[in-house]
Amino acid sequence: MKKMVYFFGEGKADGGAELRDLLGGKGANLAEMTNLGLPVPPGFTISTEVCTYYYASDDHSYPPGLEDEVKKAVARMEKILGKRFGDAKNPLLVSVRSGARVSMPGMMDTVLNLGLNDETVKALAAATDNPRFANDSYRRFIQMFGNVVLGIDGANFENALDAIKEEKGAKQDTDLTADDLAELIERYKEIVGREHGADFPQDPWEQLWDAITAVFRSWNNDRAVAYRAMHGYPGEWGTAVNVQAMVFGNMGEDCATGVAFTRDPSTGENYFYGEYLLNAQGEDVVAGVRTPHHLGKREGEEGSLEEVMPEVYAQLLEIVQKLEQHYRDMLDIEFTIEHRKLWMLQVRSGKRTGAAAVRIAVEMVRDGLIDEKTAVSRVTPDQLDQLLHPMIDPSVSYTVIAKGLPASPGAASGSIVFTAQEAMDAADEGKEVILVRKETSPEDIRGMAAAQAILTQRGGMTSHAAVVARGMGKCCVAGCGEISLDEEAGTMSVGDKVYHRGDVITLNGTTGEVIEGRLPTLPPQFDDNFRTLMGWADEFRRLKVRTNADTPEDSQLAREFGAQGIGLCRTEHMFFGEGRIDAVREMIVAQDEEQRRRALDKLLPFQMEDFRGIFRAMDGLPVTIRLLDPPLHEFLPHKDEEIERLAKDLGVAPEQMRRIVDSLHEFNPMLGHRGCRLGISYPEIYLMQVEAIIRAALEVAADGVHPMPEIMIPLVGVDEELRILREQVVARADEIIADSGRELAYLVGTMIEIPRAALTADAVARHADFFSFGTNDLTQMTFGFSRDDAGSFLPAYVAQGILPKEPFQSLDQEGVGQLVRMACEKGRSVKADLHLGVCGEHGGDPDSVHFFHRVGLDYVSCSPYRVPVARLAAAQAALED
Amino acid sequence: MKKMVYFFGEGKADGGAELRDLLGGKGANLAEMTNLGLPVPPGFTISTEVCTYYYASDDHSYPPGLEDEVKKAVARMEKILGKRFGDAKNPLLVSVRSGARVSMPGMMDTVLNLGLNDETVKALAAATDNPRFANDSYRRFIQMFGNVVLGIDGANFENALDAIKEEKGAKQDTDLTADDLAELIERYKEIVGREHGADFPQDPWEQLWDAITAVFRSWNNDRAVAYRAMHGYPGEWGTAVNVQAMVFGNMGEDCATGVAFTRDPSTGENYFYGEYLLNAQGEDVVAGVRTPHHLGKREGEEGSLEEVMPEVYAQLLEIVQKLEQHYRDMLDIEFTIEHRKLWMLQVRSGKRTGAAAVRIAVEMVRDGLIDEKTAVSRVTPDQLDQLLHPMIDPSVSYTVIAKGLPASPGAASGSIVFTAQEAMDAADEGKEVILVRKETSPEDIRGMAAAQAILTQRGGMTSHAAVVARGMGKCCVAGCGEISLDEEAGTMSVGDKVYHRGDVITLNGTTGEVIEGRLPTLPPQFDDNFRTLMGWADEFRRLKVRTNADTPEDSQLAREFGAQGIGLCRTEHMFFGEGRIDAVREMIVAQDEEQRRRALDKLLPFQMEDFRGIFRAMDGLPVTIRLLDPPLHEFLPHKDEEIERLAKDLGVAPEQMRRIVDSLHEFNPMLGHRGCRLGISYPEIYLMQVEAIIRAALEVAADGVHPMPEIMIPLVGVDEELRILREQVVARADEIIADSGRELAYLVGTMIEIPRAALTADAVARHADFFSFGTNDLTQMTFGFSRDDAGSFLPAYVAQGILPKEPFQSLDQEGVGQLVRMACEKGRSVKADLHLGVCGEHGGDPDSVHFFHRVGLDYVSCSPYRVPVARLAAAQAALED
């Protein structure tokens, strides 16, 4: 085995930031700072390869030679600091910390103050002239070591602490004297003896090895495993272990500890931003027991570091400037001041809001720190998405009453209503409402449009409510199983709590939270920085980005967001409009082709009107229109009285109407008579739609608009389906075009959403100008998951790590992706210029966009509000190549 | 291009039976007979390659040189016969017939008497001294040529014939005189002139080329295309054209025509069997206007050929014996006697019943005509299947009132009942009933068992009713959309006809026919010939054949049919038994794990009892047991009153019960919370089943039985599902085995029925001892077809040729088969000894069995009554290799 232990100290380190995989993020950056000549307490990092070795060996042992390397590294620390590990006079104390290649906050274990024992604690007391501090450090160490390393339930120590406080009449921990703490140490040691079955180890070396092993073991604790599963990090990475000399910010009023950002992490403004506490340890800043002070002087405030220790502040400022210049990124640093000496304990890329991310990236380019490619890579798609939706003011705190799936981002408040009709009525009165439903159906669409946000009890991330809400850019929390609804009583209950119609709630669609009452929200932000960044992204990407839009309004909006055409225009949503649904129902219950044609004739002008508007909005850009897809029964009523009303309207016997509705019932509508199967059964439906598309295109063309229609046939599973339908479509379209005396180019293609279509894509491609991957249905069928029903088990699958992510949110590259890749290859093997795109929900998911870039699609299509996210992700995918 | 025209005549032919692909079946056999020195009218065959050339050329032209070759062939015919084509004295007349490499009866066109015109008809009259015969031949020729070659609607000729009969007062065609027919000929020519826009061609060469082209064109007529699509024959095969000198069996009382079989096609008995008519043409025998006589003398009958023309009969007998010796098969021959001269017109393999097929195959081996391999190849799986089920006595005629899908073969009569309860009550009284339902559900199983046969209005070939009926070996007609049911009124209607509860009907599950009244049936036959043939089949096959069986009785039956184990034992069917369903429901509505465990404890002894019986029946053979698969709501009642009763029984509030039932409702249960997803959610259910399996196995092993349990985890789509469940299953099983102090080998594997499992089979195989392909669900998901709903479009898909066959009946090798092959390869790439089988319905379909043999499965599994069919198909697949 190669080198296992990497030393850092006295201005020189064995590695640097480039060794992140081997040393972990923390270790690599400690080395880097050391090399930069910054004041870093010396120490060493045991590499992640040792972790891998440890888990690969049958008896969880260490590689030979490790002990020796560690000993040498400790000796170097001793030499630098003039202290000795376990020395009764001048003991070296160390921290032992985990550090993987990515930050996994709080997931793994840490041990501080290691090296203290009954002897060295006295030396520490003498050296600091502060016996209370020394004893407190020791009892903390026993407690931490007992819990983390020896696995003793922490409650044992907490109880002992509470007991002694009661005995001594101490209200706070700080009320305990040095002697009280000495007594507590004895009790702690008893606890260790009892619970662990052995004395607390006094040998610092034994302490050290036990702590190292504990950190390696913590890589596979339940928390860490779940976290990795959630983020898709492989277990093989392993963690490094960092052993570093302790420095203390809590040894007196000339000591301090603090955290800082090189720029404001909320706004991105370029000033040194941070907080510190005098006479405190790192965790005190985080814990928030005392209110920290700002680092820089501020008007009307006192106690800044700039004022209290101006020379240390100046040094710190110089260091962070150097660091930002060096790392060329906004940084998050931790430091400790021990007797006015500054020590750098950590540096890493700073977490930031979306607004800050964009501003920092753009300003750093302006200042020559980074180039445009780096700027585009620096902003995550999630950060960008924050900018596109209203968000709850981060400064307010609130109470979450239930949690569902974050189905569509943003935030909104309003009064509870339970039906689409109520929502529309309220909207007419100018009221803001939240539509709460068990689940939504296409009949609810106008109610959803009228509401501020939607909350459903059932359904997953790609349920009807979720998909439609995202399309509308409207906040939605779906599949919130904790609530139960009683529509008639007009109540929503969560546990014992009951909310009534009219009660105000707030939804956070970004987190899935349901919140009591009204909260202030911040509006979306599209500033110059945003536009600048998106402009760079557009230069770098190869994938085009289209949008899924069914109306002229949505088309217009998407175009403003940068959409380069429509990838999916669903014609059936148009069928629910006023005056239309009646004709649709008349068509469905038609007893022969003649009746059906009469009803279709009524629909034709409506469809033409829709298409004219969309073609105008997308002047000069392609518009992919999917012919009718859902099963016919989705358009029929199902309640007895509604069926009777419809029967009366259409002049049909109620009995017969019931029979028709009944005969269209399906056990598994997802796998039933829909998509092109309808086109095969009732060619006149598709031909009416084709006529509407072509005639609308010819009409707007006469006005100087340049329409680019692409007719898409859904749900093809057998090449012969497409051959037959394409022939019919082309015949009708060409006839209309010829009659018009004009010219019009159009394409005919298909969705690839049935596994069999992907498997036989070479045969299918012969009849297609383009493929558009319908990854929603493809995912449903490849997994055998109904997206409307999977809510009962999918969340648990993700939580248990059976699946890394919800496959309806982020494409399952291993399984479904295999079919996508196969279809691309097979399709292009027979038709090299076959146009390829995706119109499933995955078109707006960054990881999926990367995949689609890699397999060579021409475009992705997503809801209007995801278009900027997809543009950024597409650019990042191209830059990764 | 190589040789295009193949001559036969005067004891020598250009080809023989081995050129079937090139000459078609008819042409190849005419050549073969000629070479054998048999009396065959001379002629020639234009090869199928000319047909292919014709369709491949842009303007549908013939290859250069064809005309020349045809001319030479006609010249050779003329020379042999001393006649001349178009000669006014002694004209050569020919027939022009199609002939593809497989027989496509009635699909393509034929022209007889070609060469007749206004001149040659007189010569024919003179030569035969029979002007009426000559004129009738001519008018028939014009009619046939006009219709087939010139495309004139046949009604024109029929009307003219009717008119002249009326004018002449003729009742029958035969009442028309030679002069009447001469007049009719003139009218026919007028019709041709009018409808065709040109005179009837008098030039025999023009007639000949037009007829040849018409036959080639008929290869692509709608009938032929549909027939090929149905049988999966490629259009590229093409047809040959046979031009042969006419001989006439209708030139007087010393003429005759007949058909014969070398053995009895019904029973297979070895005697010369056939019928003939004096003074008649071939079509008269088939048309059945006159009753034909037997060929051989029979007691109490007169007019046999043996008596009427003993010397011709002797010649014929000698010829057929020679032919059977030559072809080594039972043959179907056609012959004509012209003035006591025997001419052989056709020979081909004779169609036969299942019983005859088996008897002939076995007896030919005994007689040294064929070897055992040939015998096994000779019997088709469908023929074998006939033997396994009762069939309607083929001698009775009957009226079909409706037609559904032939879901489970056999035939049965009984009174109509509409509910499972009625069926059970009737069975208790010893009555025979037919259970008629919209569709069946698991709750109907005992009623199905009590009925003679099942008829459903909905559902396809793999609907619940179909699958269960096949498993029971019970006749079933499914998806009979023509009937409509009114359960309350107790009526079944077909159009205007109404049948009441108690009315007797007969079902033919082999054809899908629903028949009024009671019909006599013949029982299944398992004789020595059957056993001998199956014994040979077993020697040749590599694939093992298991059965799908859920009870000890079915297991026993299947073993008698030759099953080598159980490939699929569905545990959930057991859940519906008496006393069990209550515990199952208690388990489902349990509010916590504790309650669920209590209910499971009640189920454990029932499950153990089932497994003990099955292990005993399958002593020494593997038994694959699938853990719980269907969604839980299948076990719950759905009607209000039943829900209330259940609530009362279980001591739960009706409201709460309704909520539970409601909460388990799914939009697409096929893609919902079922299979191993239940096992992940409720590990205790699977663990109870594992306990029952292992404990039952240990118990019967104590009695000296050798159980071989294979635990199968259904619906795996993600390898991690299987990893988790396998770990749990193995832990529980090993614990029980260890506690028992005995040894027990068992396997743990999975079904491959989710496309994703096939795509990621390498990962899945790591945790599986075996894969069993669940091709029913795999087909549903790969196509996106719900088998319960596809009835609304799948039949039309097959009829339109979009799909060659119902993919639920015969595996879609192109699409679904690709996944099966991929899973086999990927699975064995990580585990070379992975055991592979199939337990979907396709395991009993011969074409699918061939596929499974080719991809290297170890076994197929099918319902008990299909086991012999699968054994035979497996042997034939092996012999094909």
Q: Does A803 touch chain B (CB under 8 A)?
A: yes
Would the CB atoms of A756 and B782 count as touching at under 8 Å? yes
Residue A288 has pLDDT above 60, yes or no: no
Give the closest-approach CA distance of A664 to chain B in angstroms.
Answer: 9
Q: In angstroms, rounded to a whole number, what is the distance separating the alpha carbons of residues B322 and A441?
A: 75
Q: In angstroms, rounded to a whole number, what is the distance separating the alpha carbons of residues B827 and A748?
A: 39
Q: A458, A664, A671: which to substitute to probe chain B, counting the most B Cβ within 10 Å?
A: A671
Q: In angstroms, rounded to a whole number, what is the distance separating the alpha carbons of residues A217 and B490?
A: 72
Single out the catalytic residue among B51, B676, B839, B862.
Answer: B839
Q: In angstroms, rounded to a whole number, what is the distance separating the alpha carbons of residues A69 and A73?
A: 6
Q: A458, A486, A659, A667: which to substitute to probe chain B, counting the most B Cβ within 10 Å?
A: A667
**The pair of three-digit structure tokens given for residue A629, joined into one six-digit string:** 């897809």
**The pair of three-digit structure tokens given for residue B175, joined into one six-digit string:** 């009442």
Would the CB atoms of A677 and B755 count as touching at under 8 Å? no
- The alpha-carbon radius of gyration of chain A (Å, integer) is 33
- CA nearest neighbour of A315 among A338, A336, A339, A342: A342
* Band (A468; pLDDT cuts 50, 70, 90): confident
Q: For residue B77, give the 3-state DSSP assignment.
A: helix
Residue of A nearest to B438 (CA): A663
pLDDT at position A200 is 96
Residue A297's φ and ψ, nearest 5 degrees, are -65, 140
Residue A380 has pLDDT above 60, yes or no: yes
Give the closest-approach CA distance of B738 to chain A in angstroms.
Answer: 25
Residues of chain B with Cβ-Cβ distance to A786 below 8 Å are 666-668, 670-672
Q: Which of residues 602-631 of A touch B (CB under 8 A)?
A: none
Strands ordered across the beta sheet of B273-278: B293-294, B273-278, B256-261, B331-338, B341-349
pLDDT at position B331 is 96
Q: What is the DSSP letter of A151?
A: -
pLDDT at position A534 is 97
For residues A762-775, average pLDDT? 98
Give the closest-approach CA distance of B459 to chain A in angstroms.
Answer: 10
| Mean of all residue pLDDT scores within chain A | 92
**The pair of three-digit structure tokens given for residue A276, joined into one six-digit string:** 């510190």
Nearest to B783 among A717, A777, A785 (CB): A717
Residues of chain A with Cβ-Cβ distance to B668 below 8 Å are 668-671, 786, 788-789
Would the CB atoms of B803 and A720 count as touching at under 8 Å? yes
* Band (A476; pLDDT cuts 50, 70, 90): very high
**The pair of three-digit structure tokens given for residue A57, joined into one six-digit string:** 């060996």
Residue B850 annotated among the catalytic residues of the structure? no
Residue of A nearest to B659 (CA): A484
The separation between the first and the last C-alpha atoms of chain B, rounded to the nearest angstrom, is 32
pLDDT at position B31 is 97
Q: How large is the greatest C-alpha to C-alpha distance in chain B, in angstroms? A: 104
Residue of A nearest to B788 (CA): A667
Residues of chain B with Cβ-Cβ distance to A819 below 8 Å are 755, 759
Would the CB atoms of B670 and A672 count as touching at under 8 Å? no
Q: In angstroms, rounded to a whole number, what is the distance separating the alpha carbons of residues B243 and B278?
A: 25
Q: What is the DSSP letter of A101?
A: S
What letter represents residue B820's amino acid? V
**The pair of three-digit structure tokens given for residue B487, joined into one six-digit string:** 């359960």
Residue of A nearest to B439 (CA): A667
For residues A656-683, average pLDDT? 91
**The pair of three-digit structure tokens given for residue B123, joined into one six-digit string:** 């010569």
Residues of chain B with Cβ-Cβ distance to A792 below 8 Å are 672-673, 681
* Band (A53; pLDDT cuts 50, 70, 90): very high
Collect contacts of A147-154 with beta carbons under 8 A, ≥24 apart: A148/A109, A148/A110, A148/A111, A148/A211, A148/A214, A148/A218, A149/A109, A149/A111, A149/A207, A149/A210, A149/A211, A149/A213, A149/A214, A150/A192, A150/A195, A150/A196, A150/A210, A152/A191, A152/A192, A152/A195, A152/A196, A153/A195
pLDDT digits (tens, 9 = 90+) for A817-864: 999 999 999 999 999 999 999 998 899 999 999 999 999 999 999 999
Low-confidence residues of chain B: pLDDT under 70: 1, 230, 283-289, 462
Question: Sign (positive/negative) of CA torsion A305, A308, A310, A311?
Answer: negative
* DSSP string across B196-210: HSSPPP--HHHHHHH
Q: In angstroms, rounded to a whole number, what is the distance separating the alpha carbons of residues B501 and B12?
A: 67
Q: Does B756 touch chain A (CB under 8 A)?
A: yes
Q: Where in the sequence numbering do the catalytic residues of A fall?
A: 464, 839
Would the CB atoms of A669 and B754 count as touching at under 8 Å? no
Give the closest-approach CA distance of B776 to chain A in angstroms.
Answer: 13
Question: Sign (positive/negative) of CA torsion A55, A57, A61, A65?
Answer: negative
Q: In angstroms, rounded to a whole number, what is the distance separating the alpha carbons of residues B353 and B193?
A: 48
Q: Does A777 touch chain B (CB under 8 A)?
A: yes
Q: In angstroms, rounded to a whole number, what is the distance separating the alpha carbons of residues B127 and B626?
A: 79
Would the CB atoms of A815 and B756 count as touching at under 8 Å? yes
pLDDT at position B753 is 97
Would the CB atoms of A760 and B814 count as touching at under 8 Å? yes
Residue A230 has pLDDT above 70, yes or no: no
Residues of chain B with Cβ-Cβ distance to A782 below 8 Å are 754-756, 759, 781
Q: Does A795 touch chain B (CB under 8 A)?
A: no
* Band (A397; pLDDT cuts 50, 70, 90): confident
CB atoms near residue B772 (< 10 Å)? 29
- CA nearest neighbour of B605 among B696, B494, B734: B696
Give the closest-approach CA distance of B803 to chain A in angstroms.
Answer: 8
Burial grade of A800 (CB within 10 A; 0-12, 13-18, 19 or more): middle
Q: Does A781 touch chain B (CB under 8 A)?
A: yes
Question: Strand (E) positions, A552-627?
Answer: 566-570, 622-626
Give the closest-approach CA distance of B383 to chain A in angstroms.
Answer: 31
Q: Which of residues 822-881 of B touch A (CB under 8 A)?
A: none
CB atoms near residue B341 (< 10 Å)? 13
Nearest to B671 among A760, A786, A816 (CB): A786
Would the CB atoms of B784 and A785 count as touching at under 8 Å? no
Residue B673 annotated among the catalytic residues of the structure? no
Burial grade of B173 (CB within 10 A; 0-12, 13-18, 19 or more): middle
Would the CB atoms of A668 and B673 count as touching at under 8 Å? no
Residue of A nearest to B760 (CA): A815
pLDDT over 70 percentage in chain A: 99
Q: In angstroms, rounded to a whole number, what is the distance separating the alpha carbons of residues B864 and B617?
A: 13
Would the CB atoms of A786 and B680 count as touching at under 8 Å? no
Q: In angstroms, rounded to a whole number, what is the distance separating the alpha carbons of residues A75 and A73?
A: 5
Residues of chain A with Cβ-Cβ distance to B588 below 8 Å are none
Q: Does A814 touch chain B (CB under 8 A)?
A: yes
Give the closest-approach CA distance of A488 to chain B in angstroms.
Answer: 15
Q: Which of residues 705-734 of A touch B (CB under 8 A)?
A: 715, 717-718, 720-721, 724
